[in-house]
Amino acid sequence: TKKIILDTDPGIDDAMAILFAEAHPDIELVALTTVFGNATIENGTRNALYLKERFKITADIAQGASQPLVRSPVGPTEVVHGLTGLGDFHVPDDFVGHPDPRPAYQYIIDTVKAHPHEITLVAVGPLTNLALALQAAPEIASLVAQVVIMGGAFGENDHRGNVTPYAEANIHDDPHAADIVFCAPWPVTIIGLDVTEESFFSAYYLDQLRHDAADMGEFIFTISRYYLRFYSQKVGLEGCHVHDPSAIAYVIDPELFITRKGAVRVVCEGPASGMTMQKLDTKQYQTDEWSSMPAQEVGISVDSAQLLDLYQKTL
Ligand code: BDR
Ligand code: CA
């Protein structure tokens, strides 16, 4: 089994990813660390704590960053994920959960050091907590097993973003943090829109999941109503892309994906802020901004039929 810390901004597809990780026997979910993004940090953490209680998840919950490192906050994406992050579903007012007392970045540092070379960090929100952990303890870079990110877009066909023409939401929310994470000397695999938009949960698929997957299926059905309305009205699709669960699928079965290697950087300012770029050759240029960067893996495609099957069977 792989021990994972799942860094997340719950979030409808985040919840879909959390339940996928919890349900799969090859994954030991050590913790959910939360970050601002789809919802405020308070709502995101409350959503994580609620999932822990409802689905008897043993993972710790540690609350993380409430805002990006440098840029001004973008704010929650209510139009996609609803007022508190889980669509029409709201955690009951009287629910009280108990997060770990440490901030997420400190939890990550402590846990990576306690289990050298065993922890896979999976991040499916803005990368602020991972960047803060690297800044406070750069030595963790050589102590993690692997880092898997849902974020970015490397578009062959000029598809580079979902919040701006050139930026995907997680990277756009904190481009400086993403650049720190991609430039660090640790093994990163980035599963961006090129891959996550190859798979769809159709309305029919979610109906079936409700039927087949007990309370997890019921919950995913409930929270996905709002998400499907957004996709239908704003994207023109009768289903939703499979963003965050694709990162979990990569951890379970990397063979489903095709990746390519090369240095990855992020545009941090200006109209293309949040844009991700990968350089494939190793040529030396006149400045070392690129040539000294570690080569990271970027997902370029996935066997989506197998991915959908894996998700359904796991749940
Ligand atoms: C990413 O942004 C968030 O809205 C989703 O949860 C996902 O992590 C997709 O761009
Ligand atoms: Ca997310």
Q: What is the pLDDT of residues 202-254, one digit of tens each?
A: 999 999 999 999 999 999 999 999 999 999 999 999 999 999 999 999 999 99
Confidence check: pLDDT of 285 > 80: no
DSSP for residue 266: E
Nearest CA to ligand 1 atom 10: 169
How many angstroms separate the alpha carbon of residue 192 from the centre of ligand 2?
12
Q: What is the pLDDT of residues 136-165, one digit of tens each?
A: 999 999 999 999 999 999 987 678 999 999
Q: Are 57 and 51 in contact (CB under 8 A)?
A: yes
Question: What's the pLDDT score for residue 282?
Answer: 66
Best of 81, 150, 174 for a ligand 1 pocket test (most atoms within 8 Å of beta carbon): 150
Tell me the CA distances in angstroms from 115 to 77, 120, 145, one per residue in order: 35, 10, 10
Confidence check: pLDDT of 291 > 80: no
Percent of the chain's residues with pLDDT above 90: 93
Strand positions, DSSP E, the chain: 2-8, 27-34, 60-62, 119-123, 146-150, 188-191, 200-202, 239-241, 257-266, 276-279, 296-302
How many angstroms separate the alpha carbon of residue 125 from the centre of ligand 1?
6
Query: Quick one: which H or E segment has residue 293?
Result: none
Neighbouring residues of the ion ligand 2, judged by CB less than 5 Å = 9, 11, 14, 124-125, 244
| Ligand 1: nearest atom to the Cα of 14 | 6
Confidence check: pLDDT of 286 > 90: no
Question: What's the pLDDT score for residue 25?
Answer: 98
How many angstroms separate the alpha carbon of residue 169 from the centre of ligand 1?
6
| Ligand 1: nearest atom to the Cα of 196 | 9
DSSP for residue 198: T
Question: What's the pLDDT score for residue 293?
Answer: 87
Strand 119-123 vs strand 200-202: parallel, antiparallel, or unpaired? unpaired
| Ligand 1: nearest atom to the Cα of 168 | 10
How many angstroms separate the alpha carbon of residue 33 from the centre of ligand 2?
12
Give residues (CB < 6 A) around ligand 1. 11, 13-14, 38, 77, 80, 124-125, 150, 162, 168-170, 243-244
Q: Residue type at 253?
A: D
How many angstroms separate the alpha carbon of residue 286 from the centre of ligand 1?
36
Smallest-distance ligand from the CA of 32 = 2
Mean pLDDT value across residues 57-67: 98
User: CA-CA distance, 171 to 125, in Å (whole number)?
Assistant: 8
Best of 14, 227, 276 for a ligand 1 pocket test (most atoms within 8 Å of beta carbon): 14
How many angstroms separate the alpha carbon of residue 86 from the centre of ligand 1?
13
Question: What's the pLDDT score for residue 232?
Answer: 95
Assign 267 a pLDDT band (cuts: 50, 70, 90).
Answer: very high
Percent of the chain's residues with pLDDT above 70: 99
Confidence check: pLDDT of 131 > 90: yes
Best of 7, 9, 43, 160 for a ligand 1 pocket test (most atoms within 8 Å of beta carbon): 9
pLDDT, greater one: 283 or 229:
229
| Ligand 1: nearest atom to the Cα of 13 | 6
Question: Catalytic positions, please?
Answer: 243
| Ligand 1: nearest atom to the Cα of 80 | 4
Confidence check: pLDDT of 283 > 80: no
- Write the ipTM: 0.98
Tokens 């979610």 — which residue?
A: 206
Tally: H helices and E strands in the chain: 13, 11
